[in-house]
Every structure is written in structure tokens, then in C-alpha cells.
Amino acid sequence: MASTLARSSLLALFLIATSMVCFAANNFNKDFDITWGDGRGKLLNNGDLLTLSLDKISGSGFQSKNEYLFAKIDMQLKLVPGNSAGTVASYYLSSQGPTHDEIDYEFLGNLSGDPYIIHTNVYTQGKGEREQQFYPWFDPTADFHTYSILWNPKCIIFSVDGIPIREFKNMESMGVPFPKKQRMRLYNSLWDAEDWATRGGLVKTDWTKAPFTACYRNFNVNGCIWTDSGASTTCGPSYLHSSNSKWFTQEMDLSSKERMKWVKRKYMIYNYCTDTKRFPLGFPPECKAIQIS
């Protein structure tokens, strides 16, 4: 009981500290291009803030100038407030082509008063269907929160305000492909998905509430940038021996695993590895390892 209370107190202090501290990091002008939306994506505060808007005609999106082969990425988001049903704000890494790799956050809007859904997925060699979904333990529209992706040769870890919610390990020894060869760009978008996003498409977008707006700030990345030559990255031997490269070999420690178990126990609402209707002939091979961890 004492250890449980101590963990709860530590978590509360961590969340308070996270909500109070907010540093400007990399600049959106320097690191990103607004790629679609016909003016619905806007750079503000000299590039420290980027907003995306959605109306009945179009959504909007932006992407990183750089491509990465492994990275630790943080982004602060404030999601669409009020009745956001049918809208999806996405934040993901992706390569190109039919056998692409992808690491996804998608934030599924809902009716006013109902919680958002944090939707995660991992694609390897063009195959996804690895969805896990969570309710946030806070109001993601009231303030900015930090959503992180750690992607290194050993694992992929999704974290929210520093608390891990999901891990996808390198399980190539079990025959499970792992994204480690294809460089990926970071994408963010706000778009209309009323055909599936809210209660399977039963709740449609209320366009009288448009335009819908999501805000992005404090992008920070420590990663291996794919060079112009297309043959290497900036993570050479000297970098990998520096203190800045700890993320490159980082894995979940015992404390992180305990916090992730807390999230799964209290806030997970869907796990593909328990969906017997979807996989009547048996779960994907990585599910055994996921259930053990």
C-alpha cells in the first residue's frame, strides 16, 4: 500500500511539473513545411507555434524537412476543444511506398464531455493492424501535453507527458519485422474522419462548430538525420559515443514498466492482442511477448 501511494504521489507531482514547465525548442519555420490546407495551417509567434484548422472544405497538415532513421521526438499538442466528433489530429512517422513503415499517434475527437481517444499503431513493411487505444487521464484540450516517440534499434516507446503508454520491441528473432531500414519523415495533420473516428462513424462531424483548430508547439528531436547523399545518417561513431545518444540504446526500466502497467490497467480501451473476433485463428506472434511484458 505504501509503495502504491508513493507512486501515486510521484505521478501527481510529475504531472503538475510537466503542466507548468514549457520551453520553446526547435522552431517550426526551420524544421517543418506546411504542405496542404490552402492557408489553414498557420505559423505564429515567430515560428514557435503552429496551428492546423479543419472546415467542411479541407483540413491541413505539415511535415518535417528532415527524414530520420531512428529518433527521440517530443511534440506538445492542444487538441480541438468542445464537440470534436469526427475530427482526427494525427502525429506520426512514416516512410514511403507499398512496404512502408509507420509509427502512429491519432487523436480521435468526441462529443463534448466525452473523452478523446489516443489511438496508436505500428506498421512494418506495409502491415499494420497493431492498434492500441487509450483514454487520456487529463483534458487534452485545456492545455498542451507532450506526446513522445522513442524509436531506436531495440524498441519503439510511446509516451505521454513522460509516462510510457506502449512499447513495441524489436522481435525479429520471433519473425516479426521491425522498422529499422527505412528512413521516415514526421507528419502532422488535422482531417475529417467522420466515417469511422467517433463510435465507428455513428456520430458525424457538426460542421456548425467549424473551423476546428489544433495547436502544436515545442517540437524537439534527437535523432539520426538522413543525409543528402542518401547513404548514411548523422549518427556516426563519434555521436553514438556521446552523452546525447543515450536514447539510441534506451529501453524500458522497471519504473517505466510499472507506469506503463498503470496506464494499461486504468486507461487502455482497446488492444489488438486481445481481440478474438478479429483474430479467430490466433493472435499475431508478437502478442505473446506483449502480454508477458
Place of cell 543515450: 246
Classify residue 5 as exposed, middle or buried by CB count within 10 Å of its CB (0-12, 13-18, 19+).
exposed
Q: Which residues have CB under 8 Å from 89's CB, separation 6+?
A: 52, 77, 79, 80, 106, 107, 109, 188, 189, 190, 214
Q: How far apart are CA 18 and CA 29, in angstroms?
A: 25
* Three-class DSSP category at 76: strand
- The amino acid at residue 90 is S
Residues in the chain: 293
DSSP state of 233: B
**Residue 286 falls in the annotated catalytic set:** no
**Residue 106 falls in the annotated catalytic set:** yes
- CA distances 260 to 19, 141, 257, Å, are 20, 23, 5
Among 67, 102, 194, 286, the active-site one is: 102
Among 67, 106, 194, 286, the active-site one is: 106
Catalytic residues, by residue number, are: 102, 106
